[in-house]
Amino acid sequence: MIDKTHIVKNNKTMLYITYAIVLAFVVFNFNTVFSIIGYILSLATPLYIAIIIAFILNIPMRRIEHLYGKKIKKRGLKRGLAIATTLILAIILIVLFSSFIIPKLGESITLIISNIFNYSNRLVTLINDTMAKFHVNYAINYESIQQALSNLDLNNLLSKSGDLLGNAGINLIFQSIGIFGFFINVITSFIMSLYLLANKETHLRQLKKVVTFLFGYKESLMIFDIGAEANHYFNGFVSGQLLECCILTSLMYAGFRLTGLPFPELIAFIIGLASLVPMFGGFVGFGISFILVLAVEPTQAIIFTICFVIIQQFEANIIYPRVVGGAVGISGLYVLLSLVVFGNLFGFFGLLIAVPSMALIYAVGSRFINIALYRNHIEVTDKSIKKMKE
């Protein structure tokens, strides 16, 4: 008679031995294994880009589809019209941005580069005179700044920028191949995003099946519960933050244009882009723009400051609560901590995802901790820790 217990023990022993061998191989060849895994994952790069595109486009598409749903009952027609309308709106925004904002930004940047020596001289003189009035024994050496700017050879860069295509030579062929591959990936990602949007329920069901097959029933419930919470935070934060950024940029541009400030398009764009980073992003945008205005028109720096403060307060107290609202709902301490940690890990992209990521971590962590305390019949307050009766 076959001893099934002995067979089970042998199978477990072989499993442990195999696991130990694989673990040892990974540890001693970590760089190689990591590179192979990275290469395998990089093969699906267009899919990752498609998921990001689909996630962003799905934000307005859901609302458009809901509006069409009041008149159109056929699901396929409703979904197709919603996708087409979303794409048309996106194309209109891109055309407006390309035809109006980008040329204005280019003109402002070209003018600043062309007059950078005059602006820097004016700014250095203003700072040195201010230091002298307050009897501060410090002066900026303009010659060193001028030498550093000369080494950049900005005028030569501008004059040669138009001849880039004519002087590229053989390197242009290889660059064109790389650019061609880039556009192929972009087009592929875009088409994949349309498939994801058109059949998002089907793909989500397939994903649930795979996750349930791999992790089991209970674990898959927990995974998709966390996923739903992540979708809530990222959806609310991304849609609200992008809309708030557009509104702030428009208000800043209108205010700077009415007050006659220099480069209204450029400084409004800088402040709007910086506002994507919560809390101190606006101050960074203000600092950069203030130095720019101070260098170009020192007398208008005060007007710029007043205009910025008025618009920023109006936006922060009236628009931001209505647009972004409580989509995140974590304290300022965790917001700053998330910006520091994610910024150091992932750079500017980390700053963009820091707040919703921290909100998700906070929500999931709080849930696990509260459940564990409840199961152990422990009550924690700001004054005491009590063991409740079972």
* 227-245 confidence digits (pLDDT tens): 888 887 788 777 777 888 8
What are the φ and ψ backbone dihedral angles of 379, each rounded to 5 degrees?
Answer: -115, 125
Identify the band that residue 118 occupies on the pLDDT scale cut at 50, 70 and 90.
confident
pTM of this structure: 0.67
Separation between Cα atoms, residue 74 and residue 138, nearest integer Å: 74
pLDDT of residue 172: 42
Measured torsion, CA atoms of residues 377, 380, 384, 385, in degrees rounded to the nearest 10 = 30
Q: Using alpha carbons only, what angle is made at residue 91 by residues 267 and 195, rounded to the nearest 5 degrees?
A: 125
pLDDT per residue over 286-331, tens digit each?
A: 998 888 888 888 888 889 999 999 998 888 777 776 666 555 566 7
Q: pLDDT by residue (tens digit) across 14-69?
A: 777 777 887 787 778 778 877 888 888 778 888 888 988 898 899 889 889 988 88
Beta strands in the chain (DSSP E): 378-380, 385-387
pLDDT more than 70, % of the chain: 82
Of the candidates 305, 292, 365, the one whose C-alpha atom is nearest the C-alpha of residue 334 is 365
Q: What is the pLDDT of residues 325-367, one digit of tens each?
A: 555 566 767 878 888 888 888 887 788 788 888 888 888 888 8
Most distant CA pair in the chain, distance: 102
Distances in Å between the alpha carbon of 180 and those of 46, 174, 264, 335? 14, 10, 36, 40
* Distance, C-alpha 75 to centroid of its chain: 33
